[in-house]
Amino acid sequence: MTLSPSLSIVIPVFNGANTIAKLVNALAAEELDNLKEIVLVVDGSPDNSLTVCRTLCSRFSFSVSVLELARNFGEHNAVMAGINHCDSDFIITMDDDLQNPSSEVTKLFDYAQISQNDVVYAQYRSKEHASWRNLGSRLTNWCVEKTQGKPKNLYLASFRCINRLVAETISRYTGPFPYIDGLILQTTENIGAIEVEHLPRPQGVSNYSLAKLFRLFSAMFFNFSIMPLRIGAIAGGVLSLLGFLGFLAVIIEALFFSTPPGWATVSAAVFLLAGVQLMVLWLIGEYLGRLYITANHKPQYVIRSITQDKPALPDTEGEGNRRPESDQPL
């Protein structure tokens, strides 16, 4: 007899006190027979999300685990903490803002089983985000396509389903700057997509700020691509060629015409070259700085406590980021 594949749902929670209970109750109403657990990762939320999440334990037929992080580590770090906590055959990650209907979880999970893709991304008919957020998402997808080989027609979303193979592979990454989509693209090319509904945000505003988007871009570029260094090399090559051509023009003018006036041209060239050199030095410094931080074992996340209604299976991945089981209050 073949056992049905089990499912875990990982939800990072930040300023989600007014939405997380509605989301978990909606997921429970779907009556997913395969649903083994929901993992709520409270990412240093300043509101009372932790208290609300803890009240959801021991209320459902499936397990609800609440992971309290010691501070705000960021969405991708929080999702990594949740993935490391799961041992199901499939894991769905989603936001806590109620923009992904619970019915679409069933749709995503069913398609992941039928298609046998390692990863299935949700593709939205229309995105109900603010215009600047949609612009940032399009820019992110374009950059990932150019730097990491993302399929052109694939839209990267936080609403995704991954299988056990991908979960175990990406959980081996213990660096402090995770970019989950980059890890997925490094792991497999067997990626599918299915169209789902995306609802307007019922209340509040997006937790993504320009600063968080910049940190996401930085992780994407500097931790999962050497494209910035290549751009710097190309810029240096182009400017060197222009400088050589300019030098030839100055020699020809001095030999056959008149003495070139010089100072304005020289000053402009010096400022241009100095700017490019400083930019390339910044790129190199960014890479070296991240290597230094990683070498000093900055934690990807730190779990302060785990609250759950059923004993969790031992976690063999990411142990350096978690407290010993005996120290975790239940």
Q: What is the pLDDT of residues 218-240, one digit of tens each?
A: 776 666 666 676 676 677 777 76
- 2: pLDDT strictly greater than 60: no
Sorting pLDDT into bands at 50, 70 and 90, what band is 287? confident
pLDDT above 50 (res 328) = no
**With the C-alpha atoms ordered 297, 300, 303, 309, is the resulting torsion angle positive or negative?**
negative
Tell me the two tokens of residue 135. Answer: 């612009």
pLDDT at 120 over 70: yes
pLDDT band at 48 (very low <50, low <70, confident <90, very high): very high
Fold of 7-207+299-327: Spore Coat Polysaccharide Biosynthesis Protein SpsA; Chain A (3.90.550)
Which whole-number Å values give the CA distances from 136 to 19, 206, 232, in the listed order? Answer: 24, 13, 23
Tell me what pLDDT residue 224 has.
64
- Residue 262 is predicted with a pLDDT of 60
Domain spans in the chain, listed from the N-terminal domain onward: 7-207+299-327, 227-295
Give dist(CA 24, CA 267) in Å, integer.
64
53-94 pLDDT, tens digit each: 999 998 898 999 999 999 999 999 999 999 999 999 999 999
Strand arrangement, sheet containing 303-308: 191-196, 119-124, 160-163, 90-93, 7-13, 35-42, 63-69, 303-308
Q: Higher confidence at residue 251 or residue 99?
A: 99
The answer to which of 172-176, 257-261, 289-293 has the lowest mean pLDDT is 257-261
